[in-house]
């Protein structure tokens, strides 16, 4: 009897330890089914899944839209998990569909457009067709860096300003670090560091929240501090905070300079301690939006933040476990029916409830492709940490 009791107790303890807040196998099984439907509804690689129009029909975009790389990137995430050649084939097809953007010097978004699909593809397959495309793209991106200003130009014009830089631009630097390593051209590395240093100096407020748009003069001085997608110039647009957090975490990974780690931690603390962050840790689209709690949530910001925190927590420090637990809570919320679609619904996107550009009334409370991309990335990161027992107490 005693032996049976002991076995029973041991089994119970094992089951308790094996239980996780988020079931990664289940979520990837769902993602694969949902994205198989997305592939079926998108036989033609000239129409990239982006979002849903106000009338409920799919909103697709061309390869020159800043989000064109996220679908291929998401397919690589599914391939990484499933190792099924079918996903590799689909990912390669949607990756190559963006290849012509390597020559695009009219946008700063080449990190998103090229590195998400080709970077993940190369990491997973070592397909030598990809690096030349990435290196041409990195050169195109670096044409937007003017050393006199010290930052990569985001848009060609914003209001009356000729050199606007958005916080989102921090997300392009990972691409340039890869290009520096691959080519041996230190210029790509130096551009990233200079851009990041000027972003700390000019984009961040004393409380470590970020402006969205900094408009520069030709000599590198600041002409204006603005917003485009946020509630107000002096507000904290949720996705902007997420881009900055992710970007400075990557800066630390690539340089090992502690000042970037400190910056990332301060941003994380601003975000996680904000009184307007809801209990499920999926933020309102702007932390200072006027009608909180009657404002839309932005699932994309939560997905990006979760992925970023799941890297930041690996760099130790007194808040590492807090970051991990917050990231898992975000994944738990996003994986719940409140944010995750049913199979075949939501125009075959995985997550509901993101906000693209509320002031322009565009993509408000809709699925958006990059929410899916960073959600899948965060799930992969979470699973890797869980397997290492990194934060089991
Ligand atoms: N890069 C634009 C956005 O985050 O909406």
How much helix, strand and coil, in percent to the nearest 5, is found in the chain? 55, 10, 35
Pairing mode of beta strands 48-52, 58-61: antiparallel
Q: Is residue 16 part of a domain?
A: no
pTM: 0.95
Confidence of residue 288 (pLDDT cuts 50, 70, 90): very high
Residue-range definition of the domain harbouring residue 302:
27-386
User: Would you say residue 35 lies in a domain?
Assistant: yes
Tell me the mean pLDDT in the region 380-387: 97
CB of 156 closer than 8 Å to CB of 233:
no
Catalytic residue list contains 168: yes
- CATH number for the domain spanning 336: value is 1.50.10.10
The single residue of 59, 109, 298, 372 carrying the catalytic annotation is 109
In a domain, 6, yes or no: no
Residue of 166, 172, 210, 237 to test ligand 1 pocket, by largest number of atoms within 8 Å of CB: 166
Residue nearest to atom 2 of ligand 1 (CA): 168
Q: Is residue 18 part of a domain?
A: no
Instruction: Report how far ligand 1's centroid is from the alpha carbon of 286 (Å).
Output: 13
Kindly state whether residue 393 falls inside one of the protein's structural domains.
Answer: no
Contact 61, 48 (CB under 8 A): yes
pLDDT of residue 12: 44
The percentage of the chain sitting over the pLDDT mark of 90, rounded to a whole number, equals 93
As for how many domains the chain has, the answer is 1
Cβ 358 under 6 angstroms from ligand 1? no
How many Å apart are CA 349 and CA 371, to the nearest integer? 9
Please indicate whether residue 59 is annotated as part of the active site: no
| Number of CB atoms found within 10 A of residue 388's CB | 10
pLDDT over 80 at 11, yes or no: no
User: Taking a C-beta distance cutoff of 8 angstroms, is the pair 51, 67 a contact?
Assistant: no
Pairwise CA distance, residues 149 & 217, whole Å = 7
- The response to whether residue 239 sits with its C-beta less than 6 Å from ligand 1 reads yes
Q: What is the pLDDT of residues 144-188, one digit of tens each?
A: 999 999 999 999 999 999 999 999 999 999 999 999 999 999 999
Confirm whether 12 is domain-assigned.
no
Mean of the per-residue pLDDT values for the chain?
Answer: 95
22 lies in some domain: no
* Three-state secondary structure call for residue 163: coil
Residue 14 has pLDDT above 90, yes or no: no
For the segment 298-316, what is each residue's pLDDT rounded down to a tens digit? 999 999 999 999 999 999 9
Give per-residue pLDDT as tens, 251-264. 999 999 999 999 99
Average pLDDT value for residue range 218-223: 98
Per residue in 51-75, pLDDT tens?
A: 999 999 999 999 999 999 999 999 9
Residue 20 lies in a domain: no
């Amino acid at each position: 009897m005693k032996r049976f009791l002991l076995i029973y107790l041991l089994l119970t303890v094992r089951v308790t330890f094996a239980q996780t807040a988020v079931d990664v196998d289940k979520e990837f099984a769902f993602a694969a089914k949902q994205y198989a439907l997305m592939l079926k509804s998108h036989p033609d690689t000239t129409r990239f899944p982006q979002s849903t129009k106000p009338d409920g029909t799919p909103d697709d975009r061309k390869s020159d839209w800043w989000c064109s790389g996220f679908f291929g990137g998401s397919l690589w995430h599914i391939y990484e998990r499933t190792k099924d050649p079918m996903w590799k084939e689909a990912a390669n097809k949607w990756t190559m569909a963006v290849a012509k953007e390597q020559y695009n010097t009219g946008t700063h978004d080449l990190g998103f457009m090229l590195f998400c699909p080709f970077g993940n593809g190369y990491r997973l397959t070592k397909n030598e067709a990809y690096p030349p495309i990435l290196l041409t793209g990195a050169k195109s991106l670096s044409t937007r860096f003017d050393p006199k200003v010290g930052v990569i130009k985001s848009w060609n014009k914003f209001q009356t300003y000729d050199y606007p830089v958005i916080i989102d631009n921090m997300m392009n630097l990972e691409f340039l670090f890869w290009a520096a390593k691959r080519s041996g051209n230190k210029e790509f590395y130096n551009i990233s560091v200079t851009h990041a240093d000027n972003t700390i100096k000019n984009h961040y407020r004393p409380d470590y929240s970020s402006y969205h748009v900094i408009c520069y003069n030709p000599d590198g001085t600041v002409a204006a501090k603005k917003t485009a997608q946020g509630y107000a110039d002096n507000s904290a647009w949720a996705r902007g905070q997420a881009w900055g957090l992710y970007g400075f975490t990557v800066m630390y990974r690539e340089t090992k300079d502690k000042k970037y780690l400190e910056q990332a931690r301060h941003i994380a603390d601003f975000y996680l301690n904000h009184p307007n962050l809801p209990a499920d840790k999926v933020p309102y689209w702007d932390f200072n939006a006027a009608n909180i709690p009657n404002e839309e949530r932005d699932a994309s910001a939560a997905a990006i933040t979760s992925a970023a925190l799941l890297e930041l927590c690996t760099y130790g420090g007194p808040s590492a476990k807090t970051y991990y637990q917050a990231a898992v809570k975000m994944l738990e919320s996003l994986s719940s029916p409140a944010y995750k679609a049913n199979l075949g619904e939501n125009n075959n996107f995985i997550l509901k409830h993101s906000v693209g550009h509320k002031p322009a009334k565009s993509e408000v409370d809709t699925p958006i492709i990059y929410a899916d991309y960073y959600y899948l990335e965060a799930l992969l990161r979470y699973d890797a940490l869980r397997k290492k027992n990194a934060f089991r107490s």
